[in-house]
Amino acid sequence: PVFAIDERRYSRSRPSESGVLEALRHCVRNPHFRPYVAADFSYFFATAIISTGMPYYLTVLVELESRYLLPVVGGLAALSFLFYYPTNRLAGRFGKKPLVIFSLALLLVAFALIFFLGWLPLPRLVQIFGLGAVASVPLAVLGVLPNSILSDIAAHDSRQTGRSQEGMYFAARALLSKLGQSCGIMVFAGLTNFGKDVGDDLGVRLSGLAGLAFDLLALVIFSFYREHEVSGEQVVPLGAKAGAGPDVPAPPPQAVPLPRSLLPQAFGA
């Protein structure tokens, strides 16, 4: 639980000397943060559509009773939770960016399935539970790794500039994620004007295509994130000039010979 964490033990806090607007401008200028936060906005936009539309997908597209909503959502959450541990293991082996790209691509499949729900030659329960199963993997990966990636970006910026702006990075991300969710909900509500009932479901189906478009946008934008520069950077040795070329480890100290006139004193003669 959160209340059991000793924050002072695992962090070094110091007051920031920058104002709010200056700190925000500093974050936005970070070339590693821009593709991350733009992709994050698009992702939250897309997932807001699928979370808002799930009751409609169940009752309108596959024409099942609303009592199946809890098993579908609960099964999706439980299956997603099971993938948390493998996500951490695979991220350590293959890197975080490839897993995020794979998850966004798999989420494209889920949004495509939404458009065809009720038309597939499969039992209705299989269709809706299959949608939940496909969505559970990307939701697990994208529920864990983005925060870790943002921590890498903030730590990299702190090493490069000597300024600790971690709080502003997470605040900016939280603001844009909420904005993305709000926009996704508004877009879904607008699409329902094109049909949200059984036999008149065009608006509900179009929500799948809208989510697919923004998820694809997130995938394309995040592909510009340079993980090797953020996570693979070596610490510059003391005395070396930053930006003067590739980081080279400091040479080992060499023994300096004593002058002949000092040899007797050195050996106590």
Residue type, 28: V
Give me the domain span that covers residue 35. 18-231
Q: Is the model's pTM score more than 0.85?
A: no
pLDDT, one tens digit for every residue, the chain (269 residues)? 677 777 777 666 666 666 677 777 888 888 899 899 888 888 899 889 988 999 999 999 999 999 999 999 999 999 999 999 999 999 989 999 999 999 999 999 999 999 999 999 999 999 999 999 999 999 899 888 999 999 999 889 888 887 778 888 888 899 888 999 999 999 999 999 999 999 899 999 999 999 999 999 999 999 999 998 888 654 443 334 444 444 444 444 444 454 554 444 444 44
Quote the number of domains for the chain: 1
Angle CA 29–30–33, to nearest 5: 120
- Residue 3 covered by a domain: no
Q: Is residue 262 a part of any domain in this protein?
A: no
Q: What DSSP line would sit under 202-257, residue for residue?
A: HHHHHHHHHHHHHHHHHHHHHTT--HHHHHSPPPPPTTPPTTSSS--PPPPP-PPP
Task: Supply the pLDDT for residue 212.
Answer: 94
The answer to whether residue 260 is domain-embedded is no
Whether 18 contacts 157, CB under 8 Å: no
Facing residues of 200 across strands?
A: 197
In angstroms, the CA 52 to CA 41 distance is 16
Closest to 38 in 3D by CA, of 185, 173, 210: 173
The answer as to whether 138 is a domain residue is yes
What amino acid is encoded at 189 in this protein?
A: A
Looking at the chain, which runs of residues are DSSP E strands? Answer: none
In a domain, 4, yes or no: no
Residue 264, in any domain of the structure: no
CATH number reported for the structural domain that contains residue 167 in this entry? 1.20.1250.20
Coil, strand, or helix at residue 165? coil
The token pair at 36 is 């991350």
Q: Indicate left, alpha or beta for 95 from its phi (over 0: left) and psi (-120 to 50: alpha).
A: left
Instruction: Name the amino acid, one letter, at 257.
Output: P
Q: Closest by alpha carbon to 190, among 76, 67, 53? A: 53
Please report whether residue 269 resides in a domain.
no
Residue 158 belongs to some domain of the structure: yes
